[in-house]
Amino acid sequence: MGGPCEVLTEIVDEAAARKVVDVVAACAWRIEGKFSRYRTDNIVARINASAGAPVEVDEETANLFDFAALMHRLSDGLFDISSGVLRRAWTFDGGDRTPAPAEIDALLPLVGWSKVRWERPVITLCPGMQIDFGGIGKEYAVDQATQLAAQVSGAAVLVNFGGDLAVTCARDGGQPWRVGIESIDAGPRRPARLVDLAAGALATSGDTYRFVKVGGERMPHILDPRDGRPIRGAPRSVTVAASTCTHAGMLATLAMLRGEHAEEFLANEDVRHWVQRA
C-alpha cells in the first residue's frame, strides 16, 4: 500500500481484535497482490504485457475500469489510469532533473484513456500503453477492508492505509476518532490539523514525499496526462472527508488536478476539506 497500514479498535477481547486485524490484513494483501503494478504475476501485469491483444478481466477489475472510465470523463481527461508511462520521463525523487520536451512528447502517444478500448469485460490497450490503479487502489482497499471489519465486529474500527482511512462507526460513548492531518513541513509528529471523525473516511492527495524541482519551483508528482507536464499551481496537499475513502480520495485527486483552482473545485463540491499550500 506504499506506506504503513494500521487498524485501530477499541475491542478489549484479544481474540475478537485479532479477528478484525486478520480480515483487514488479508484484504490488504489480496488487493495489493491483485492490483499492484510492481508485480509480474497479476492482472495488471497481464494487461500491461498484452502488447495490443485483448484481455478479458474478472468482475472486480471490470468494476474498477468502469469507475476509472467514468472519472476520466467527469474530469475532462485529467484523471487517467494510463498516465503512469510518463514516469519514465519524470522521476519525482525530490531532485531537479527535468526531462527534455522531446522526451515527454515521445511518450504522449502512449498516454490517454481515450485510446484504450474498454468493452466490459474486455480491455485492449495500444501496444506500449500501460495502466495502473495507483490513483484508486489504496482508497478502494481501505473501503473494502472497513466493510469486512464491520461485518466481523460491531465494534469501532479505524482502518488506515498510509494516511487514507475510514471508520466503521464512532468510538465507545459516541466519541469521534481524532485524526491528525500530516503537516507538509514537519512530518507526522506535528499534525497540521486535528480532525474529529465520527463516520466516513478521510483521504489525502499530496506531494509530501514525491516532487521534483523545476527551476527551484517545487512541482508535485501529479501530472497532466494531456500534455505530460506537472500540474501548475497544485496544492501541496489536499485532504477530503467523504462517506467512503474512494470517494474522498477521488475528490482529493481531482482537486489536485485542478491546480490553482483546487479550492474552487472543492468549495463547489460541498465536502469538508483541508488544503495545504506552500
* Three-class SS state of 119: strand
What's the closest the beta carbon of residue 51 comes to another protein, in angstroms? 28
Q: Is the CB of 214 or the CB of 271 nearer to another protein?
A: 271
Q: Could you tell me the smallest distance in angstroms from the CB atom of residue 265 to another protein?
A: 5
Cβ closest to another protein, residue 12 vs residue 100 = 12
- What would the grid cell of residue 31 be? 488487493
- The site string for another protein over 53-92 (x = CB under 8 A, - otherwise) reads ----------xx-xx--xx--xxx----------------
The CB density around residue 93, as the number of other CB atoms within 10 Å, is 12
Applying CB under 8 A, among 9, 48, 244, 276 the residue interacting with another protein is 244
Q: Name 178's bridge partners.
A: 196
Task: Spell out, one character per residue from 188 to 227, where the chain touches another protein: x when CB under 8 A holds, - when not.
Answer: -xxx-xxxxxxxxxx-------------------------
d(CA 241, CA 66): 23
C-alpha cell at 81: 489510469
Query: Cβ closer to another protein: 77 or 162?
Result: 77
C-alpha cell recorded at residue 65: 475500469
Q: In what order do the strands lie in the sheet with 122-124?
A: 55-56, 122-124, 117-119
Which of 200, 201, 162 shows the shortest CA–CA distance to 182? 162
Distance of closest approach, residue 24 Cβ to another protein, in angstroms: 16
Pick the closer one to another protein by CB: 64 or 107: 64
Angle at 89 between CA 83 and CA 94, to 5 degrees: 100
What are residue 187's DSSP bridge partners? 183
127/173 with CB nearer another protein: 173
Which member of 138, 221, 229, 247 binds another protein (CB under 8 A)? Answer: 247
Q: How far apart are CA 157 and CA 28, in angstroms?
A: 15
Quick one: which of 86, 231, 250, 252 contacts another protein (CB under 8 A)?
250
Q: Footprint of another protein on residues 122-181 (CB under 8 A)? A: 140, 143-144, 147, 170, 172-176, 178
The least CB distance from residue 12 to another protein, in Å, is 7
At residue 14, what are phi and psi to the nearest 5 degrees? Answer: -65, -40
- Shortest Å, Cβ 1 to another protein: 17
At residue 216's C-alpha, the angle toward residues 189 and 212, to 5°, is 60
**Under 8 Å CB-to-CB from 12, ≥6 apart: which residues?**
none
> Which residues make up the interface to another protein (CB under 8 A)?
12, 63-64, 66-67, 70-71, 74-76, 140, 143-144, 147, 170, 172-176, 178, 186, 189-191, 193-202, 241-244, 246-248, 250-251, 254, 258, 261, 264-265, 268-272
